Amino acid sequence: MNLIGALLLFLGLSLSSLYLFPSGAPQLADFVLIGFASVMLVMSLGDERLKVSPFAICWGMMVLWVLLVCLSWTLVMETTTFFRPAQFFLFNFLVGMALLRFLGVYGESAKGVIRNGVSIALLIAGSQALVQLAMGVSRTTGSFNNPNQLAYFSLCGVVLLLMLDDFRPRMRLLGLAGLASGVLGILAASSLAAMGGGVLVLVGWAMANAKQVKHFARLLLLVPLLLLGVLAANISSDGQVLRNLEARMDRAPSKVDSIYEERKFDRLMNFPEYAILGAGEAERERFAPYDGQEIHSSYVNMLFAYGLPGLGLFLLTIAIVLRRAPLYVWAGVAGPLIYSTTHNGLRGTLFWMVLVIGWYLYRQGSIVASRHSVAIEHPLQ
């Protein structure tokens, strides 16, 4: 194994939940992951066996379209502010392709590095959330800057860990602690969308384990353990977890009623012409009085900012990942996708890693077939 690449990936994943700078600015983990991507790029140079997959092509075309839209509006409005959101798309694509390369070359060893790194990141966020709950914080942020970041990261982290073990987690202390921390992060952030997505993940988990007795027995053992962990967190915080959940449930009807304006969907309805080719994600004063904050939905934002081609390529990328995956994987991945209907999750690196892992494991219809297809696999293949 390339020890430098493995170390950079492990550090980048482990630190990915630690936000030291304002949201939107590069974090420490981002610099480490760029180093990892650079190492993988050097490894790929001169490899004549390297092939490009439909997943990589579609995702790459989406990123290229985003860059073209940003370039067009930069020329029209004579400002470079449109390229700041585009940097997230390009960064996540480069890291995702590097991760696919790493998985293709090192297989099970690479999965172990990813599993341990993500588990540590979830533990960092979960431990901070637990401290904040003990202090009586109503909606915790963990090691992030706001509750929604904690909830989304925790949800994607749980899905990624489950997917690495084909939704049948083994009895590894670090992995189980990571899963428990992820569940705690979702509940501590009191995000209704993340909790709704978490229910779908739980359904996928149950579907994957219901057919075999030993897997179902393990499920019956793990669920109480996770619930006991959440109960312990609730007791240690003097009932703050439960109070947070009750408060958010009480607000659910009013949030549904105001979702159109609160999530800025009214911008699309009042300026539908931009849905054709895209308006970019900057200079929102063009849309006054419907400017304000960004659109809080991955799908609506993709449609308004990058038009029908951008949204189409985004949905096609997801479809390519899931087209041969088992139904329980669809249910699990639906968790972050449901969350993204009312939040913009396109900048989350861990979300794109979920898609990378999904393509790597299930592109041939099952995780078993993926493991035995070839002796040495190439990541963009």
User: How far apart are the C-alpha atoms of 267 and 305, rounded to whole Å?
Assistant: 11
Residues of the chain with pLDDT under 50: 368-379, 381
Residue 43, in any domain of the structure: no
The pLDDT tens digits for 288-298 are 888 888 899 99
Q: CA-based angle 332:264:350, to the nearest 5? A: 30
CA–CA distances in Å: residue 173 to residues 115, 179, 215, 218:
12, 10, 18, 14
Which of these, 349, 344, 333, lies nearest to 306 by C-alpha position? 344
Q: Cβ atoms within 10 A of the Cβ of 196, count?
A: 15
**Inter-axis angle of helices 173-189 and 83-134, nearest 10:** 90
pLDDT score, position 297: 92
**Nearest-angstrom CA–CA distance, 194 and 35:** 31
Residue 140: inside a domain, yes or no? yes
Residue 381 maps to a domain? no
The pLDDT score that the predictor gives to residue 375 is 38
Determine the Cα–Cα distance for residues 97 and 101; give it in Å rounded to an integer. Answer: 6
23 belongs to a structural domain: no
Contact by Cβ (8 Å): 41, 138? no
Measured N-to-C along each axis, helices 298-322 and 54-77 cross at an angle, to the nearest 10 degrees, of: 160
Its domain, for residue 160, covers 3-18+28-34+52-372
The alpha-helical segments, DSSP class H, found in 45-172 are 54-77, 83-134, 147-164
Residue 196 placed within a domain: yes
**Whether the predicted model's global pTM rises above the 0.85 cut:** yes
Q: Residue 334: inside a domain, yes or no?
A: yes
Q: What tokens does 280 get?
A: 């970019």
Secondary structure class of 93 (helix, strand, coil): helix
What integer pLDDT is reported at residue 261 of this predicted model? Answer: 73
In a domain, 41, yes or no: no
pLDDT computed for residue 364 by the predictor: 72
Domains contained in the chain, number: 1
Specify burial of residue 198 (Cβ count, 10 A radius: 0-12, 13-18, 19+). Answer: buried
* pLDDT in the model for residue 52: 84
